[in-house]
Structure 1
Amino acid sequence: MEISEIKQRLPILKVLSHYHLKPDRNGRLCCPFHNDKTPSMQVYPETGTWTCFSSNCSAGSGDQVDFIMRKEGITKHLAILKAQDLMGETGDPGPGKSKPSPEKKLVPELTPGERTQILTEAFTHFARSMNKRPENAIKYLESRRLDYKRLSIGFDAGTLHKIKETTPEQKQLYLQAGLLKPDKFGREESYYTRFKGCIVFPLLDRSKNIVSMYGRHTEKPEHHYLEGDHRGLYPGYPDRETTRLILTEAVIDAATLQQLPEITKDFSLLALYGT
């Protein structure tokens, strides 16, 4: 059996349940791969992936097979066999009445160019949302002493796919980029935005293109990255000539320092993937 088929048919939540692990309502749990006292693992059921954000952990990101491989301390081949066994587990539907899980449709990957274009369009929308001075966003930014007029900051009000200019083709691209998620209750043509209620920061590649985003919720203790492997840096890749660099744990820390000329005239800044 191919790994792609396992990823389609074996929910990551079923893998976690097999090991008596259950994420909280925000999809977080204490990472089982290091001594974790606060939840640093984020689980993404829609893509069957997970990421540990702790700097004390080497697990990084992975899928269902990777989780089994690390948890059992076995080879990938044996982890695939274990995954096949889990796919055969019936849970408790009653004797002889097990139902196979419906297969998920694979969402095609965007090309790097398509991804940059759609993320740039989305961030432009988020940045324009700040012109309406949304109360919760302004209040949060003021509490963190961040000036959205000086920094590259947007706000996801949940309207990305609702403006009249958005075409069905754009919606599909937003879905492929992870900016939109299918309705949690299975309603057709109904979506919610990945960063709804968050102030949003762009993450850039070496050419200063937007390749990902980071969102910090304005009313809940939540933060989000686009699902999958981490891409891009904030506020961007340091110049090759950089000799003095300040590393911050969080994006917001770097944004705060970006506003201080006495810092930026002598130092470059770089945020790690913290909260």
Structure 2
Amino acid sequence: MSLSPAWLDELRARTTLSAIIAPSVKLMKAGREFKACCPFHNEKTPSFTVNDEKGFYHCFGCGAHGDAIRFLTDHRGLPFMDAVKELAGKAGIDVPAADPRDREKAERAAGLHDVMAAAQRWFAEQLAGIDGAEARSYLANRGIDAKAIERFGIGFAPDSRGKLKAALSGVGEDKLVDTGMLIRPEEADKPTYDRFRGRVMIPIRDQRGRVIAFGGRILGPGEPKYLNSPDTPLFDKGRTLYNIDRAGPASRQAHRLLVVEGYMDVIALDRAGITEVVAPNGTAVTEAQLERMWRLDPAPICCFDGDSAGQKAAIRAALRALPHLGPDRTLRFVALPAGQDPDDLVRAGGHAAVEALLGEPVPLVDRLWRHEVEAAPLDTPEARAGLKARLLDHTQAIADPSVRQLYRDEWLRRFDELVRPQREARSLYPRREWTKKGGRFQPPAPPTLDATRSLAKTGVEPPVARALLQGFLLYPEALHDHVEELAHLSLADSKSAALRDRLVELAMSAESLDREGLATILANDAAGLDVRRGAMAFSFTRANSDPAVASSDLAAALELASARLEIDVALAEATRRLGETFSEEAFVEQQRLFQAKARYNDRLASLASNE
């Protein structure tokens, strides 16, 4: 079987080399690398290093060098394909099925790096020649001097359909087409022609510094402004980061990684002495690009333009990252001044201005919170319910359970602080009105009958209410974390409400509660209510559940019940307004709330189905 270079590069990118070597070699952390005594020769002083960022190991004693595949073949003696299959299984990717065409494709790709290197040299020659005068003027106006041109290998493609084709005729048309340098028309009788014409040419390199594609910036008017190489056997734009070859070593020294929108932003920051910078290739940040960033830095800083498009790109990156967040991977954000890009910032204030901006990056949790809070006015119950629903939807996207729970807790705390005045205004038991009498915390006097009837219409259904109460009786350690939310919950059943009040009072009075002690205290306080009868079944309604799972499910069910009430109130108000004066806007809002209510019902049912 023949595997493509692109597929093998993807396998290496998804493999953490130290995890492959550690089971058979004792590794010691040394900065951002690992050291060990070499497994390929006898030594007492460690000279064997493992670099996860670059994906290779090296022994300064015997010269052993290679990647994860090479380690399995040389150290464990596995055949090449067995090593590949083992790594693919660990990485969760499928090995391509055997295809006779794979060998031909691999052979054709073998010399493509040489073709791209030759093209880059030719473009550089054109920039320095007579035809490159306009391109040199453009670069000078952008502040890109001769040293930057050389560092980044910038060149120029003349405005001609055949100059590159003629200059590189010796490599053959097929390879030029395979690399995307020539376009082959669908009509068989028409000749191939140069893809890039009249553009400043910016080489795109892989992590090993080899040219694999180009980005071309048009001179003068015309579309597209930037033109990338197409996907080729060497280049997959969704898996490649511009400047990754230079940013990798630089990020190790700077202990950070910056992410900007485009090539010129990278070059502008390099002009200010900041080299640990990468950019996607004309697309929104992809999952594969995030993986490559996190291999260099656990918390890259997204530094996008200050205009509307730039801030939308920041939010897209945040949302794309959510499912993959973990204890050692997140994103941070800085917002450039309105209307400015990194080039403007460098021109205005140089290195100091950039560093001042980068000094206080905003965590992802804060950036998404601000985005959602600023999305619309929060002057109606419907709007506040919508904010809460969006925040909870974002938390559900996070796969890591501990991070998901912490994001949920943090956003709900902020939401509670934001809407507390409105909530307390309509709450049966505002916390600020709780008093302490005879050593016991007590809620205020019961509300009027009319107020009770009004709230009962949207109270939590008895089966759910009884399940929640049963959960807190069985797992009272959760009471302290959720006492406010429980106290604010409107319960349609008066007996359930009375038991809830007693639980809240005990939680406020006692430092700790346990299941047996709580049962003893409440033996005569439950007013004859058996909460087990008629209660929905959840993990937290069973005494023998895993306490961690039960507590987590209890918190989730309480939040779902609370959010459903928020939506019910908003829905009742929207329906009332719609009945008074019909409008399309009111109707759409009512239907949206109906859908939100259905989603919360489905989530609660799903939580119960896990019982």
TM-score by length of 2: 0.24
Deviations 1:70-124 (A, max 9, x none): xxxxxxxxxxxxxxxxxxxxxxxxxxxxxxxxxxxxx957655322111111111
Q: Specify the alignment match of 1:147 in structure 2.
A: 145
Q: Would you tell me which structure has more strand in proportion to its own residues?
A: 1
My pick for the range that moved more, 231-240 or 123-132, is: 231-240
1:210, 1:232 within 8 Å by CA — same for their partners in 2? no
| SS of alignment partner, residue 162 of structure 1 | helix
**C-alpha displacement at 1:184, in angstroms?**
7.8
| SS of alignment partner, residue 241 of structure 1 | helix
Q: Specify the alignment match of 1:173 in structure 2.
A: 175
Q: RMSD of the alignment, in Å?
A: 2.7
Give the letter for the 1:136 counterpart: E
**Structure 1, unpaired ranges of 5+:** 1-106
> Given the superposition, is the C-alpha separation of residues 126 and 178 from structure 1 closer, same or farther in structure 2, using an over 3 Å criterion?
same
Q: Do residues 192 (structure 1) and 189 (structure 2) align?
A: no
**C-alpha displacement at 1:174, in angstroms?**
0.5
1:110, 1:177 within 8 Å by CA — same for their partners in 2? no
| SS of alignment partner, residue 136 of structure 1 | helix
| SS of alignment partner, residue 116 of structure 2 | helix
Q: Do residues 162 (structure 1) and 166 (structure 2) align?
A: yes
Deviations 1:25-73 (A, max 9, x none): xxxxxxxxxxxxxxxxxxxxxxxxxxxxxxxxxxxxxxxxxxxxxxxxx
Q: Would you tell me which structure has more helix in proportion to its own residues?
A: 2
Distance, in Å, in 2 between the alignment partners of 1:274 and 1:248 is 11
1:130 to 127, 130, 143: 127
| SS of alignment partner, residue 227 of structure 2 | strand
1:182, 1:192 within 8 Å by CA — same for their partners in 2? yes
2:276 to 261, 264, 268: 268
Distance, in Å, in 1 between the alignment partners of 2:240 and 2:125 is 22
Deviations 1:115-137 (A, max 9, x none): 21111111111111111152331
Give the letter for the 1:119 counterpart: M
Give the letter for the 1:241 counterpart: R
Distance, in Å, in 2 between the alignment partners of 1:166 and 1:268 is 37
**C-alpha displacement at 1:212, in angstroms?**
1.6
> Given the superposition, is the C-alpha separation of residues 112 and 184 from structure 1 closer, same or farther in structure 2, using an over 3 Å criterion?
closer
Give the letter for the 1:137 counterpart: A
Q: Specify the alignment match of 2:210 in structure 1.
A: 209
**Structure 2, unpaired ranges of 5+:** 1-103, 284-611
1:108, 1:176 within 8 Å by CA — same for their partners in 2? no
2:204, 2:211 within 8 Å by CA — same for their partners in 1? yes
> Given the superposition, is the C-alpha separation of residues 256 and 187 from structure 1 closer, same or farther in structure 2, using an over 3 Å criterion?
farther
Q: Specify the alignment match of 2:114 in structure 1.
A: 117
Largest Rg, 1 or 2: 2
1:212, 1:232 within 8 Å by CA — same for their partners in 2? no
TM-score by length of 1: 0.51
Distance, in Å, in 1 between the alignment partners of 2:135 and 2:204 is 20
1:178, 1:226 within 8 Å by CA — same for their partners in 2? yes
> Given the superposition, is the C-alpha separation of residues 148 and 235 from structure 1 closer, same or farther in structure 2, using an over 3 Å criterion?
farther
> Given the superposition, is the C-alpha separation of residues 184 and 255 from structure 1 closer, same or farther in structure 2, using an over 3 Å criterion?
farther
Q: Specify the alignment match of 2:256 in structure 1.
A: 244
Distance, in Å, in 2 between the alignment partners of 1:140 and 1:109 is 39
Distance, in Å, in 2 between the alignment partners of 1:198 and 1:130 is 10
2:108, 2:175 within 8 Å by CA — same for their partners in 1? no
Distance, in Å, in 1 between the alignment partners of 2:136 and 2:188 is 33
Give the letter for the 2:252 counterpart: E
Q: Specify the alignment match of 2:19 in structure 1.
A: none
- Percent identical pairs in the alignment equals 22
How does 1:15-164 map onto structure 2 within 5 Å?
A: 111-133=108-130, 134-151=132-149, 152-157=153-158, 158=160, 159-163=163-167
Q: Specify the alignment match of 2:53 in structure 1.
A: none
Give the letter for the 2:134 counterpart: N
**C-alpha displacement at 1:171, in angstroms?**
2.3
Distance, in Å, in 2 between the alignment partners of 1:193 and 1:111 is 20
Q: Do residues 233 (structure 1) and 244 (structure 2) align?
A: no
| SS of alignment partner, residue 244 of structure 1 | coil
Give the letter for the 2:256 counterpart: R
Distance, in Å, in 2 between the alignment partners of 1:227 and 1:110 is 20
> Given the superposition, is the C-alpha separation of residues 183 and 166 from structure 1 closer, same or farther in structure 2, using an over 3 Å criterion?
same
Q: Specify the alignment match of 1:256 in structure 2.
A: 268
**C-alpha displacement at 1:166, in angstroms?**
2.3
| Larger RCO: 1 or 2 (CA < 8 Å, sep 6+) | 1
Q: Specify the alignment match of 1:95 in structure 2.
A: none
- Please list every run of at least 4 consecutive aligned residues from structure 1 whose deviation after the TM superposition is greater than 6 angstroms: none
| SS of alignment partner, residue 193 of structure 2 | strand
